[in-house]
A and B are shown apart, each in its own frame.
Chain A
């Protein structure tokens, strides 16, 4: 029989990371179904580079390589980044992005647990700022691609940039992009949504992330506050715009299920290192990130706003934490200030 004190053991980091990767599986499978084997190639590339960079950085910094390498945090970063880049993007996108994410955003700030910014999102931001053309060239979902690009051809395309003769291009706009360009051409949303692009691929992938996210919540890897506040902030802002002018602003549901919204809500904003730790702070942080993500993706020039919104909020994270300290037990709220 055990005796007191009954201290709850924190979940080992390795278990947490394993669960996060498990939770990504439905989304990954759906992405493979929609875009083909390219998704897996990008993930494999990113994971390999992440582990190599992590090992090199640990060695340079004089840390033991093996325990840190096996904690799985680099793998999670790599997966998140690989899922945010186009499945048929050239191989060096994943390589460069992951190297920057692990080397610059993680180890230069002091390694695991010390980074101010979400490494995967730094990698993504560097890529989209530097290579906007390659990063917005998303492949058409397979259901739309006529004729189908085989698995080998996809891999060859990623590594060489050459397509089989029958193809001119395999790119298509993402739903968010299509809405933006459509609106610039003075089409109404109703017209834009008639195009075959608005099949179900992106929405299904987002649903896959949602399922994975709920699993993480059920496993107590993440709490409800960050994802719910993020989706709430994004959804409510979208709702306001949509109610004012539904001709030009897509519905909240469209925004919740497109781009990086679901991935961001459950896998990126919930990063325990870069998010605030106080309950109220988490709500403020995530809701503001949702609001910003909406504003950047609708009014800004980049394809999606989730990454930039998260990075901007990362900067103010510690500030939010400082002003939302809960009262020390037994004291009145006022005493807890400062």
Chain B
């Protein structure tokens, strides 16, 4: 039902070419707020991925029965139901994290990237493709959240993985990596505060463009070389 090649294209597209965080720049509100450390960012990213996986599949499976005129409310209803499930699950199994993420779990419903993929992809493609697309779009976003979270945490507080005990219980407290020794009280508030999110995201977008440009230049040089050899 889905060829390996097709799956590869979808995955590449979702994670890199059309990355939700740094290319489509969708779902900025949670990205900017929840990227103050890795744990928050990755948790929210994974929750979003899960919702997008199921919503992609659900919407694709009933796309023939949805009247075109009212498709948006129907998509939103499906997404909202799924988000409620995730919300309740997190509340019961990861309560500490649930408290930290707070309003941003229910807000996954209104995250543009979820509806955007429902509208642009799931409503036009098969179930397997849509599920794959949704999930890897979410993973792409999670990647951005992880990198941005790591950057802000590292520059702002000199730690990595702080708050991991919210996920794995109090025993995980010792997993926190102190890049700058804790007793130095290192702090660079700007990176933790909202401006840090904007500046950091700007750097990530610029970095992605630079990488793409370099790859493009290299590919062009290679084709030129091949042409010369062929001639």
Name B's A-contacting residues (CB within 8 A). Answer: 187-190, 193, 195, 199
Contacts and interface: CB of A to CB of B under 8 A. Distances in A.
A129 B195 contact: yes
11 contacts: A126-B190, A129-B189, A129-B190, A129-B193, A129-B195, A130-B187, A130-B188, A130-B189, A130-B190, A131-B188, A131-B189
Interface of A: 104, 126, 129-132
Nearest to A104: B199
B84 to A, nearest CB: 38
B163 to A, nearest CB: 21
A219 B179 CA distance: 53
The listed residue with most A CB atoms (<10 A of its CB), out of B190, B193, B199, is B190
Nearest to A129: B190
Contacts of B193: 129
Nearest to B195: A129
A130 B155 CA distance: 11
Contacts of A130: 187-190
Contacts of A132: 189
A276 to B, nearest CB: 24
Nearest to A108: B202
A129 B199 CA distance: 14
Given A130-B188, A132-B189, 11 more contacts: A104-B199, A126-B190, A129-B189, A129-B190, A129-B193, A129-B195, A130-B187, A130-B189, A130-B190, A131-B188, A131-B189
Contacts of A104: 199
A308 B188 CA distance: 19
Contacts of B187: 130
Contacts of B188: 130-131
Contacts of B189: 129-132
Contacts of A129: 189-190, 193, 195
A104 B195 CA distance: 13
A279 to B, nearest CB: 33
B206 to A, nearest CB: 9
Contacts of B195: 129
B158 to A, nearest CB: 13
The listed residue with most B CB atoms (<10 A of its CB), out of A126, A129, A130, A131, is A130
Contacts of B199: 104
Contacts of B190: 126, 129-130
B201 to A, nearest CB: 14
A296 to B, nearest CB: 17
A126 B190 CA distance: 7
Nearest to A131: B189
A129 B195 CA distance: 10
A299 B190 CA distance: 22
A132 B188 CA distance: 10
A101 to B, nearest CB: 13
A131 B188 CA distance: 7
Contacts of A126: 190
Nearest to B193: A129
**4 smallest A-B Cβ distances: which pairs?**
A130-B190, A130-B189, A130-B188, A129-B190
Contacts of A131: 188-189
A165 B187 CA distance: 28
A126 B156 CA distance: 13
B183 to A, nearest CB: 16
A126 B188 CA distance: 10
A191 B104 CA distance: 49
B20 to A, nearest CB: 24
